[in-house]
Amino acid sequence: MDFYYFSLQSVERPEKATQRYGTQRVEAVLNDKKYRFYFEDDLVRISWGITPLNIVFSLQNKTDHSIKIPWDEAAYVDESGRSHRVMHSGVKYTNKEQPIPPSIVVRKGIFEDTILPTDYVYWEEGSRYTTGNWKSNPLFSPYLDIHCPYLTKGAYQSFESFDKAAKSKVGNTLQVLLPLQIEDIVNDYIFIFKIDSVETTQRTEPI
């Protein structure tokens, strides 16, 4: 098992955003041994939290107008540069391929949600002894490799090879394209996160 440490490397905004929404500010805050990353301009203040399983954010609308999040225009860009359509926590897994209505953030309001690539979510058929259920792949791998004697053989031959593969991800980046529509103007904000370090743990007891 491993834990990835990130930083918010940069934020790309639309052309002339500085004139419209002022200068941008980025900061990191450590709370309960977990980092939250904050971006702020005159339009919004957004905090981000990232794990290998999902991306959570909290958006504060600083304006006197409602802000729309047109989800069908949002995207997650993985470490290889491949773009993925996204869903959020208000969408049922069974509806993940359907058009997603925009979310509305009222003036001076706060909106919290979770982002997940739609093609990372899949249905696993049941067996004779289990029922089928929805599952999701981690945002990047390796994340977890299980070896059970006589039952399961992991993807890696040893903990050392797993550790090497995980730490090879250091320096890679992932991106979130979050479009924000205020009145008739759609502003594409691209948040670029960097993997700063990876910590791996080997466990011999049951999880």
Segments in 22-172 forming alpha helices (H):
159-167
Rounded to the nearest angstrom, the gap between the alpha carbon of residue 55 and the centroid of all alpha carbons in its chain is 3
CA distances from 35 to 5, 6, 7, 65 (A): 9, 8, 8, 30
Q: Which two tokens stand for residue 144?
A: 């977890």
CA distances from 91 to 69, 99, 153, 188, 199 (A): 14, 10, 34, 22, 32
- 78, 174 contact by CB (below 8 A): yes
Task: Enumerate the domain spans of the chain.
Answer: 2-200
Instruction: Give the SS3 label for residue 154.
Output: coil
Q: What does each of the 207 residues of the chain score in pLDDT, given as a tens digit?
A: 557 788 999 999 988 778 888 889 998 887 665 678 999 999 999 999 988 888 999 999 999 999 999 999 999 999 889 999 999 998 999 999 999 999 999 999 999 999 999 999 999 888 877 888 998 888 887 677 665 665 566 677 778 888 888 888 899 999 999 999 998 889 999 999 998 988 888 776 655
Q: Which residue has the tokens 């995207």?
A: 75
Beta bridge partners of 133: 124
The Cα–Cα gap between 38 and 42 comes to 13
> What pLDDT is stored for residue 135 in this prediction?
87
